[in-house]
Structure 1
Amino acid sequence: MSGPNSNYDPVEVAALAPEAVEAAVAAALAAATAASTLADLKAAKLAHLGDKSPLALANREIGALPPSAKAEAGKRVGQAKGQVNAAYAARQAELEADRDARILIEEAIDVTLPTGRRPLGRRHPIELMGQRIADIFVGMGWEIAEGPEIEAEWFNFDALGFDVDHPARQMQDTFYIEPPEGGLVLRTHTSPVQARAMLDRGVPLYVACLGRVFRTDELDATHMPAFHQVEGLAVDEGITMANLKGTLDRLAAELFGEGITTRLRPSFFPFTEPSAEMDLRCFVCRGADPACRTCKGTGWIEWGGCGMVNHKVLRACGVDPERYSGFAFGMGIDRALMFRSGVSDMRDMIEGDVRFDAQFGMEI
């Protein structure tokens, strides 16, 4: 850029010459007319009105003129820029109107046409409930363990302290794989994973197992021959019933909301000692409605079994019971789904009716 010139008057700088300004305006107007899209118009505007355009360069040269020439040159350049800006604004309005009209035609939807889409499938609510429970345990720092559904009789019964003549081992309670003397069963609970986890992983141990189990129950509103359980096992130094109670309270609160607690009632299981039945504070009435249909006015709902791991189980799995103690618990995932979602009949879960699954969406 040249500096001010005050020695002679006036001085015409080349970029400010009337013919140069007129040529810049003509080129800018031609580019605006030639632009067929908004993108083209934006590029043309940058070329003819941007910082490096001829009109911008002419505007900067005004500072090099003597004072007597600045007014005339400024008026000439200002009128030129105003003319070009007006032309570009008008052309932009035209292109935007064309675009909007084209969109109305190209993207028109006939809402009266029948839909051609197939209904979306859904993940089964029992699977979603299992994943939610698994996430809760992972959030507490536990691991998720797995075991086979066709289980060795030793893992399913012997390692857990079931005597040879225990009623649960009879064929009226257990599905045996042919031949019956082959020692294989469809697991009746997820508790065999306790033994497998202690043998495979050692201690200390904090694992949860979720899976399908089988019993020779008649199919009705509250029982199924194939259902789902979650088993929890913690073995470490200094584990007590207080740790068990705290874990169950946390699980209940995560699944059914804060304020839901658990209650332990003395019971018996071969693989835990002491053992307890685990009750859940009624999530409907919170124990305040004697006419509540969910808990039948008791304020509590039976949820599962639990207790401290029996020393015989620890020894069978190579764990020193003098040094380590542990707790275990198990409850039905299907029953948790019933409690959480108000499902009144377990048969609805397995009939394969997509209308049942659809109401749960992709998350519960």
Structure 2
Amino acid sequence: MSGPNTDYDPVEVTPLQAEQVEAARDAALEAVAAAADLDALKQVRIDHAGDRSPLALANREIGALPPQARKEAGQRVGQARGAVNQAIATRQAVLEAEHEERMLVEETVDVTLPTDRRRRGGRHPITLQSELIADIFVAMGWEIAEGPVVEAEWLNFDALNLGPDHPARTMQDTFWTEPADRHIVLRTQTSPVQARTMLTRTPPIYVACPGRVFRTDEYDATHSPMFHQVEGLVVDEGITMAHLKGSLDHLAAQLFGEGIDTRFRPSYFPFTEPSAEVDVRCFVCRGVDADSCRTCRGEGWIEWGGCGVVNPRVLVACGVDPEVYSGFAFGMGIDRSFMFRHNLEDLRPLFEGDVRFSAAFGTEI
């Protein structure tokens, strides 16, 4: 009976020869040492430690050896691969440290240097609010009319049925220019634009007049000597208070949300007859559980502006036949409407020019 065959050639597979393994290891170590950066080291890892590297291919040939030779060949190849992997890890740590040091030097920012960076400018919230209101009226088919802020006394008062003895003409309400005999004022409302429109156009007239106005008010949380108004004027055949109510209900719903309507309270204005104060339904509590509402303070309504049917005397003064045409007019503060929309309690930040205030309300560029 024959015994086991112990005759074999341990170097029969060429890649497993000691010289070949040592050559592959030395070549890998030289490549690792020569890698100048992390990208180069990454390529070295692929070439000398990857699945297609010489040592990886040699490791696959171990299975072709007789069992008695596998241990020695496995140790030889394993030691060579371990040396290569250790060298790669050591070199990577060195290169990463060099990379971080280089970044600290190259990307250092001297925060003490002067900068030419300027904050981007923006449009003021009141400007945006004015344009929003103008867009609402344009969508209704109206036109936008504008006029000068320095106005003739006749257009600011007389044409609007404010006689010489009316309290609004006193120095306590109106800014008058010098000399006084020129009869020039800073307009106290945008109503002169309505007068100018009726003097230069033939009805039908549907215009909205936004702009700055001036009154000698104290500057505090709810008053300013300069503020913004929008006034509306309609002159056409068959115009009634019902048309006025519908227009204001639509404006209120567009500004403050669907379901917000208005109510009228009898009042007096020289340029309208009959006249009314306009209240807008509280957009916070909407009239429900108003007792606990801090916005309307239990009323369920918030005062918004004034309105009425255009006084026939105003139509006559502006050359419109009151026997043929009738109309309505209204006016409310743009600043006040902005405060309503954003629940502001102080008017002054609107005029103090702090860009942080403007940015807080979605300033557009």
TM-score, length of structure 2 as denominator length: 0.68
CA offset at residue 119 of structure 1? 2.4
- What does residue range 211-360 of structure 1 map to in structure 2 within 5 Å? 211-288=211-288, 289-360=290-361
Q: Which residue of 1 aligns with 2:38?
A: none
Contact 2:206 2:233 in 1 (8 A): yes
Match of 2:174, SS?
coil
Tell me, in whole angstroms, the C-alpha distance in 2 between the residues paired with 1:339 and 1:248: 16
Tell me, in whole angstroms, the C-alpha distance in 2 between the residues paired with 1:111 and 1:154: 69
| Structure of greater Rg | 2
Q: Which residue of 2 aligns with 1:164?
A: 164
CA offset at residue 201 of structure 1? 1.4
Letter of the 2:262 counterpart: T
Map Cα deviations across residues 29-58 of structure 1 (whole Å, 9 max, x no partner): xxxxxxxxxxxxxxxxxxxxxxxxxxxxxx
Letter of the 1:354 counterpart: V
Contact 2:122 2:364 in 1 (8 A): no
Map Cα deviations across residues 93-119 of structure 1 (whole Å, 9 max, x no partner): xxxxxxxxxxxxxxx9x9995797432
Contact 1:207 1:232 in 2 (8 A): yes
Map Cα deviations across residues 14-40 of structure 1 (whole Å, 9 max, x no partner): xxxxxxxxxxxxxxxxxxxxxxxxxxx
Contact 2:245 2:262 in 1 (8 A): yes
Tell me, in whole angstroms, the C-alpha distance in 2 between the residues paired with 1:134 and 1:170: 32
Unpaired stretches in structure 1, ≥5 consecutive residues:
1-107
CA offset at residue 363 of structure 1? 5.0
Q: Which residue of 1 aligns with 2:143?
A: 143
CA offset at residue 342 of structure 1? 1.5
Contact 1:122 1:361 in 2 (8 A): no
Q: Which residue of 2 aligns with 1:131?
A: 131
CA offset at residue 360 of structure 1? 1.6
Unpaired stretches in structure 2, ≥5 consecutive residues:
1-102
Q: Which residue of 2 aligns with 1:209?
A: 209
What is the Cα-based RMSD across aligned positions, in Å? 1.8
TM-score, length of structure 1 as denominator length: 0.68
Map Cα deviations across residues 131-154 of structure 1 (whole Å, 9 max, x no partner): 000000000000000111000000
Tell me, in whole angstroms, the C-alpha distance in 1 between the residues paired with 2:297 and 2:306: 20
Q: Taking every aligned residue pair, what percent have the same amino acid on both sides?
A: 71
Tell me, in whole angstroms, the C-alpha distance in 2 between the residues paired with 1:116 and 1:160: 53
CA offset at residue 120 of structure 1? 2.0
Match of 1:274, SS?
strand
CA offset at residue 187 of structure 1? 0.2
Higher mean C-alpha displacement, 113-122 vs 194-203: 113-122
With over 3 angstroms needed to count, the CA separation of the structure-2 counterparts of 1:285 and 1:203, relative to structure 1, is same
Tell me, in whole angstroms, the C-alpha distance in 2 between the residues paired with 1:132 and 1:299: 25
- What does residue range 84-163 of structure 1 map to in structure 2 within 5 Å? 117-163=117-163
Contact 1:222 1:346 in 2 (8 A): yes
